[in-house]
C-alpha cells in the first residue's frame, strides 16, 4: 500500500530523465518533470511514513548511517589499494583495479557487521543493553538449580529490559512431586 505514493513520483522523475536525455531539454519539459519528480519522491516517502505510521525512524537512521559509513570506509580502502597496487605494478595495469575490487568485496560483510554493531550501540542503546542483560542472564542459568531463584532472576531481567507495568509468572507444578 505504501508504494501507491512512491511509484507515481518515480514515474514523474523517470519522465523527466527521459525528456532530458531524449533531446527535449530545450522545451522545459525535462526541467518541470525532473524538478517535480525530485520533490515528489521525498514527499511521498514522508507521506507514507506518516499515513501508515511507519515510525520506526531510528532503525532507518541507524541503517542509513551504517551504510554511509560502510560506503565511505570501503571507498577509502579501494582508493588506497588502487594507489598502492598501482605504484607497485608498472604502467596502467587493470590488475590493480581488479585486485582492489575483490578485496573490497571480501571486506564488505565484516566491515558492515562491525560498523552496524557500533552504530546500534550508539543509536539503539536500549536494545543493545537488553541483549547484554539477557546474555548475562542466560550465562547465569548454568549455576541455578532452585526454581525460585530462577523465577526471581527471570522477573528481574524482564523488569529491567522491558519495563512492563505489571508482571506475573505462572509456574506449573511438577507432577512427580505431588
Nearest to 53 by CA among 1, 17, 114, 100: 1
pLDDT at 77: 92
User: What is the residue extent of each domain of the chain?
Assistant: 3-51, 57-123, 125-163
Average pLDDT in the 13-29 region? Answer: 77
Each residue's pLDDT tens digit, 71-100: 999 999 999 988 888 888 777 778 888 888
* Residue bearing the bigger pLDDT, 127 or 9: 9
89, 96 in Cβ contact below 8 A? Answer: yes
**C-alpha dihedral, 104 to 109 to 113 to 115, nearest 10°:** 20
pLDDT at 125: 65
H/E stretch holding 85: helix 57-88
pLDDT at 152: 77
Each residue's pLDDT tens digit, 116-142: 888 877 776 666 667 777 777 777 777
pLDDT at 110: 92
Average pLDDT in the 55-78 region? Answer: 85
* Residue bearing the bigger pLDDT, 110 or 22: 110
Reported in sequence order, the residue ranges of the chain that DSSP labels E, i.e. its strands, are none
**Is 115 a residue whose pLDDT tops 80?**
yes
Each residue's pLDDT tens digit, 31-45: 787 788 888 888 888
Q: Share the mean pLDDT of the chain.
A: 79
pLDDT at 94: 82
H/E stretch holding 11: helix 3-21
Predicted TM-score of the model (pTM): 0.49
Whose cell is 519539459? That residue is: 29
Helices 94-123 and 57-88, packing angle to 10 deg: 150
Confidence bin at 162 (pLDDT 50/70/90):
low
The CA distances from residue 175 to 145, 169, 171, in Å, are 18, 18, 12
Grid cell listed for 136: 548475562
User: Cα–Cα distance between 36 and 9 in angstroms, integer?
Assistant: 8
Amino acid at each position: 500500500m505504501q508504494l501507491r505514493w512512491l511509484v507515481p513520483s518515480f514515474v514523474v522523475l523517470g519522465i523527466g530523465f527521459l525528456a532530458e536525455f531524449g533531446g527535449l531539454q530545450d522545451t522545459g519539459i525535462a526541467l518541470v518533470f525532473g524538478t517535480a519528480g525530485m520533490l515528489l519522491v521525498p514527499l511521498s516517502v514522508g507521506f507514507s511514513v506518516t499515513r501508515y505510521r511507519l515510525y520506526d525512524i531510528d532503525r532507518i537512521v541507524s541503517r542509513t548511517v551504517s551504510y554511509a559509513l560502510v560506503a565511505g570506509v570501503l571507498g577509502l580502502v579501494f582508493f588506497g589499494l588502487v594507489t598502492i597496487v598501482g605504484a607497485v605494478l608498472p604502467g596502467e595495469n587493470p590488475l590493480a583495479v581488479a585486485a582492489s575490487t575483490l578485496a573490497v568485496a571480501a571486506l564488505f560483510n565484516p566491515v558492515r557487521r562491525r560498523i552496524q554493531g557500533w552504530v546500534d550501540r550508539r543509536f539503539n542503546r536500549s536494545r543493545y543493553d537488553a541483549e547484554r542483560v539477557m546474555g548475562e542472564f542466560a550465562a547465569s542459568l548454568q549455576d541455578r538449580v532452585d526454581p525460585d531463584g530462577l523465577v526471581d532472576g527471570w522477573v528481574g531481567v524482564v523488569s529491567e529490559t522491558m519495563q512492563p507495568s505489571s508482571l506475573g509468572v505462572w509456574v506449573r507444578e511438577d507432577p512427580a512431586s505431588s
